[in-house]
A and B are shown apart, each in its own frame.
Chain A
Amino acid sequence: MISRRCTAALTVACCALLVCSTLHAQPSPVSPRSIDKRTESTSWNQSLRVIFLRDYNTRVVVFGTTLLGCAGGMVGSFTLLRKRALMGDALSHATLPGIVLAFIIATRFGLDGKSLPFLLSGATVSGLLGVGVILLIRQRTRLKEDTALGAVLSVFFGGGLALLSVSQQMQQGHVAGLESFIYGKTASMGAHDIRLIMLAAIVCIGICLLLFKEFKLLCFDEEFAASRGFPVMRLDIVLMALVVTICIVGLQAVGIVLVIALLIIPAAAARFWTDQLSSMFAISGGLGALGGMVGAEISALFSRLPSGAMIVLVYTLLFSASMLLGRRRGVLIRGLRRLRLNRQIDRQHLLRAIYELRELTISATRNKFEPTRNQGFDVDRMQLLAKRSWSAGRLGTAIRRAVRDGLVRVDGDDITLTDEGMVEAARLTRQHRLWELYLITYAEIAPSRVDRDADAIEHVLEPEVISELEGLLARRYTDVPASPHDLGTASISPSLRPPGSEA
């Protein structure tokens, strides 16, 4: 935790330094000679200049979007867990009427309509108004939050579009730049705008790091936080303020429609990789920064491509990769786990089927076999097929695997357990019966504890419960497979029995 904070603080400090150096560095002078020499390699040279950030403007823009992406990812990991992810979307859409109104008012009063502070304060006011309306609808009516969200989002955005076409017919001022707010266009940003973005992003990252523990508690268990005296309401407002900040400063770079991607996608992608909030937070910030950087570079390389769309496309790539490859919850790892589980279950079914067939024969012939010793008893495929509803193919695969693992021997059509297989089969049969009994005896609570992988019973159930179940098992089956583990011989007091088991 401490080291995490230190690295995080260092990162922030480095970012701040970078920002300062970027902003103070003068644009590298282009010598006249190089201009003369421009030939067919010009575009390649230009691309290289963009990629290696030799251009002052590109450098500034890329740093800005990187920081913005990082801050968005960090704030987003909290809002995602607080299940407020879509609030940012409503908020950003609701900013449009504010932006246009601010422009109209400013031009009417003869000011520069496109000065960013004006536009962004207009955006903030109408964005907050939108959120306020949502909260009001939720509180005062019986409509659910998603309904209120959808309604407010579309109404505000529609109003904004209408205002935009009105403003286009105005005499003074040219409205051309305003559309860049809808789709996002880094090319229209000046150094001042970017300085604002960087400052806001750094402040957001700083607040997230400082209040990490408090936000964690707020998102996990609001009620407990309140009972411990944390001002839950104020914390919530701070978190919402961070969302507002990201949305507003992100408008120009990413655009109204797509700014929500900054808050949702990196956080959702990070969740596939980890089960720890601190790592999710860091990964989300990292992915956000990476997406912001690469997206802005692509947009700078091909000047026709809008930066917002590029950033979101890069995010989509990162998200898809995380969804597939994520170490904790990725699709592949889950598929692999399921496959492994299925194989394991098939193997367990096979061994248990053989064991139980053998058990039946023994009790039918009243033969004095030692039950856990392997006496060369064999079954044939047809018997096994009839025992369960499995296809011949699946059974065949299960048998082949068991042979490979040295658990059974196949001799023509006869299948025999090896010594090792016998021990395993006895153990599995016992486990299975214990679980079955547990499900019956503790029907109330069992479903939450049953582990499909029967191997784990000793790890899940307490020794007392197991020895109680073994008592029941002995009464139900004549042949109880011996436990391979020493479970102790704790006797069970009557108070431990679940209600109804006395009968």
Chain B
Amino acid sequence: MNPQRATSATNNDAGHSRESSDIPLSVYDLTVAYHRKPVLWDVGFDVPAGALVGVVGPNGAGKSTLLKAVMDLIPRASGRIQVFGKSYQHNRRRVGYVPQRETVDWDFPVDALDVVTMGLYSEIGWCFPIRKKHRDIAQDALNRVGIGDLAHRQISQLSGGQQQRTFLARALVQDADLYLMDEPFAAVDAATERAIVEILREMKERGKTAIVIHHDLQTVPEYFDYVVLLNMRVVAHGPTNDIFTPENLQKTYGGRLTLLDQVSEAMRRRERSL
């Protein structure tokens, strides 16, 4: 994939990890297979600090699998992952995760504040009770995502966008340096989408990094300054301006021209606005 980096990683491992310790995420030759079918194949890329990174690719391209493999949630067939130069387990506290909204049962008997507080459980520690200061942190996070007044609403009574904001708030309470988000913009209303983008930009200003799985190609140039084009393998990765081109998207998605037209239109809009 990237022979240059591969050699530097093998020849000079110690020096490499020291110099890459401020790189939020490095993925080397990652292969993941379910049963005998590979889902990710020799995936490798770096993510620069303080970037908003969009991970883009067709359905079944392995986007969610990539995030899960980064967090050791599924076994890797091969490859290595470094989070700020160390293993994920070592730097777990610096990573915040926003899973897909559909992965949980929203009929569960908890309210929004409870869900957000879950982001603090590992800091509270085993068997220790939740205290007022933890609930205050959670309430602050809910205020930040704009649904502070819904803190005590049962989660099934929240709209889709509000549920997504609750998940985002749960990741925010950790004050992590790297955020992994699995389709936070899926099926949310315009106001929620704008709120999430605002929070992403605010994170970026504070030097945080976010890796976001995204489906809407039209908004990629507007939201992200770095993209990873994924379809089982990395088709291309780099700054949006260089990488998010019709040719690369053609390689990622195959010949779906209507999509590509939308993209070139979106890129033109971006150029005009710049």
| Bitwise interface map of B from 149 to 176 toward A, beta carbon under 8 Å scored 1, else 0 | 0000010000111000000001000000
Instruction: Name, among B72, B92, B114, the residue most crowded by chain A CB atoms within 10 Å (CB to CB).
Output: B114
Any A CB within 8 A of the CB of B187 = yes
Any B CB within 8 A of the CB of A401 = no
| Bitwise interface map of B from 118 to 131 toward A, beta carbon under 8 Å scored 1, else 0 | 11011010110111
Among A216, A276, A280, A449, the residue within 8 A (CB) of B160 is A449
Query: With contacts defined as CB atoms under 8 Å apart, how many contacts are there between chain A and chain B in the complex?
Result: 110
- B109 contacts A271, C-beta separation under 8 Å: yes
- A214 contacts B109, C-beta separation under 8 Å: no
Any A CB within 8 A of the CB of B4 = no
- B121 contacts A228, C-beta separation under 8 Å: yes
| Bitwise interface map of A from 212 to 246 toward B, beta carbon under 8 Å scored 1, else 0 | 01101101110111111110000000000000000
- A496 contacts B194, C-beta separation under 8 Å: yes
Q: Which residues of B contact A499 (CB under 8 A)?
A: 218
Could you say which of B17-25, B44-52, B98-106, B137-145 contacts chain A? B98-106
Ranked nearest first, the 10 interchain pairs of A and B with the lowest CB-CB distance are A462-B191, A275-B154, A448-B160, A228-B122, A227-B97, A449-B159, A227-B71, A210-B127, A277-B109, A221-B104
Given known pairs A448-B160, A449-B189, the reply for A221 and B118 (CB within 8 Å) is yes
**CB-based nearest B residue for A275:** B154
Any B CB within 8 A of the CB of A335 = no
CB distance from A232 to the nearest CB of B (A): 9
Any B CB within 8 A of the CB of A377 = no
Among A213, A216, A219, A229, the residue within 8 A (CB) of B129 is A213
Any A CB within 8 A of the CB of B188 = yes
Any A CB within 8 A of the CB of B14 = no
Any B CB within 8 A of the CB of A143 = no
Interface residues of B (CB under 8 A from A): 68, 71-73, 89, 92, 95, 97, 99, 103-105, 108-111, 114-115, 118-119, 121-122, 124, 126-127, 129-131, 154, 159-161, 170, 187-191, 194, 218, 222
A499 to B18, CA, bound (A): 46
Question: Count of chain A residues with Cβ under 8 Å from any Cβ of B?
Answer: 42
- B99 contacts A221, C-beta separation under 8 Å: yes
A420 to B71, CA, bound (A): 60
Interface positions, chain A 196-218, Cβ under 8 Å from B, are: 210-211, 213-214, 216-217
CB distance from A170 to the nearest CB of B (A): 49
Please give 8 more A-B residue pairs, beta carbons under 8 A apart, in addition to A277-B110, A448-B160: A219-B108, A220-B104, A226-B72, A227-B73, A228-B97, A448-B159, A465-B190, A496-B191
